[in-house]
């Protein structure tokens, strides 16, 4: 099965601080995604990428930046973290046909 690794798995950040969430996939997938999931709800798309060097805005990009420096790595950056960004963040990857998308185990972020 495709492997998507997120780090850290848990993070506590202070309001106004900078947070970087990392994602690595070893399956040579072109497409990568960042979602957030709030308790009891579905996944909302923040940013996605078609390949190294590309980033695209999803449905809720405000307050987030993304970086795709290589095929394997896709980062989500919160320049000025706010308590409203407390959530579980999932990274995912998929092939160009996207017949299946694989998820990492998630990062639980708490902003205090």
Partner 1 sequence: QQKVQQSPESLIVPEGGMASLNCTSSDRNVDYFWWYRQHSGKSPKMLMSIFSNGEKEEGRFTVHLNKASLHTSLHIRDSQPSDSALYLCAARRNNNRIFFGDGTQLVVKP
Contact residues toward partner 1 (CB under 8 A) are 31, 33, 35, 40-45, 48, 50, 56, 58-59, 90, 94, 96-101, 103-106
Strand-pairing partners, residue 73, are: 24
Quote the least distance from Cβ 40 to partner 1, whole Å. Answer: 7
Query: What's the order of all strands across the beta sheet hosting 75-78?
Result: 4-7, 19-25, 75-78, 65-67
Identify which of residues 38 and 79 has a Cβ nearer to partner 1 in the complex.
Answer: 38
CB 60 within 8 A of CB 46: yes
Identify which of residues 18 and 108 has a Cβ nearer to partner 1 in the complex.
Answer: 108
Q: Let me know if 99 is exposed, middle or buried by CB neighbors in 10 A (0-12, 13-18, 19+).
A: exposed
Query: What are the φ and ψ backbone dihedral angles of 85, each rounded to 5 degrees?
Result: -90, 5
Quote the least distance from Cβ 64 to partner 1, whole Å. Answer: 16
Rounded to whole angstroms, the maximal C-alpha distance in the chain is 40
Identify which of residues 41 and 62 has a Cβ nearer to partner 1 in the complex.
Answer: 41
Quote the least distance from Cβ 94 to partner 1, whole Å. Answer: 8
Quote the least distance from Cβ 103 to partner 1, whole Å. Answer: 4
């Amino acid at each position: 099965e495709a492997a998507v690794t997120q780090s850290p798995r848990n993070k506590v950040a202070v309001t106004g601080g900078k947070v970087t969430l990392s994602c690595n996939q070893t399956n040579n997938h072109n497409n990568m995604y960042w979602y957030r999931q709030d308790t009891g709800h579905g996944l909302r798309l923040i940013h996605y990428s078609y390949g190294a060097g590309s980033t695209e805005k999803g449905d809720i990009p405000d307050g987030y930046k993304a970086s795709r420096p290589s095929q394997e790595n896709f980062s989500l950056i919160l320049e000025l973290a706010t308590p409203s960004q407390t959530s579980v963040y999932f990274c995912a990857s998929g092939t160009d046909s996207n017949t299946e998308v694989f998820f990492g185990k998630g990062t639980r972020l708490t902003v205090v």
